[in-house]
Amino acid sequence: MQWKPKRHSQLSLHSQIVDWMTSLIQQGEWTIGMNLPPQRKLAEMLEVNRSTIIQVLDELKADGLLETKRGGGTFVANNSWNVLLNKSQPNWQKHIQMSIHKPNYHTIQLINEYEQDVSMIRLGTGELSPELLPTNLLEESLQSMTLNARDIGYSEPKGSKKLRMVLSDYLGKQGIHTSPESILIVSGALQALQLISVGLLEQQSIIFQEHPSYLNSIHPFQSAGMQMVSVQSNERLAETLKTLKGKRQSLFYTVPTLHNPTGRIMSVEERHQLLEICSTLQIPIIEDNVYQELLFEESVPALKSFDHSGQVLYLGSVSKTLSPGLRIGWVVAPEPVINRLADIKMQTDYGSSAFSQKIVAHWIETGLYDQHLGQLRQQLQQRTSFVERILTKDFKEVATWDKPKGGFYIWLRFNEPIVNKGLFLKLIKQKVLINPGYIYDPNDMHHIRLSYAYASLAELQEGLAILLSIIKLQ
State which of positions 3-32 bind its own copies (CB under 8 A): 3, 26-31
Distance from C-alpha of 117 to C-alpha of 127, rounded to nearest angstrom: 16
The correct pick among 348, 379, 381, 420 for binding its own copies (CB under 8 A) is 348
Q: Does 101 bind its own copies (CB under 8 A)?
A: yes
Q: Are 430 and 466 in contact (CB under 8 A)?
A: yes
Q: Specify the residue, 349 or 402, whose C-beta has the smaller distance to its own copies.
A: 349
Q: Specify the residue, 316 or 391, whose C-beta has the smaller distance to its own copies.
A: 316
Give kind and range of the element (H or E) at residue 472: helix 457-473
Phi-psi region of 401 (alpha: psi -120 to 50; beta: other; left: phi over 0): beta
Distance from C-alpha of 25 to C-alpha of 391, rounded to nearest angstrom: 50
Minimum distance from CB of 156 to its own copies (Å)? 5
Q: Does 324 bind its own copies (CB under 8 A)?
A: yes
Minimum distance from CB of 36 to its own copies (Å)? 11
Distance from C-alpha of 66 to C-alpha of 76, rounded to nearest angstrom: 5
Distance from C-alpha of 364 to C-alpha of 53, rounded to nearest angstrom: 54
Residue 316 sits at φ, ψ, to 5 deg, of -130, 170
- Binders in 220-239 for its own copies, by CB under 8 A: 220, 223-225
Q: Does 38 bind its own copies (CB under 8 A)?
A: no
Give the list of residues 6+ apart from residue 19 with CB closer than 8 angstroms, or none: 11
Q: Does 116 bind its own copies (CB under 8 A)?
A: yes
Distance from C-alpha of 174 to C-alpha of 301, rounded to nearest angstrom: 7
Q: Does 471 bind its own copies (CB under 8 A)?
A: no
Segment lying near its own copies (by CB under 8 A), choices 135-143, 239-247, 259-267, 290-298: 135-143
Q: Does 458 bind its own copies (CB under 8 A)?
A: no
Q: Does 83 bind its own copies (CB under 8 A)?
A: no
With 0-12 / 13-18 / 19 or more C-beta atoms within 10 angstroms meaning exposed / middle / buried, residue 397 is exposed
- Binders in 250-309 for its own copies, by CB under 8 A: 279-280, 282-284, 307-309
Q: Does 175 bind its own copies (CB under 8 A)?
A: no
Q: Does 156 bind its own copies (CB under 8 A)?
A: yes
Q: Does 139 bind its own copies (CB under 8 A)?
A: yes
Q: Specify the residue, 282 or 392, whose C-beta has the smaller distance to its own copies.
A: 282
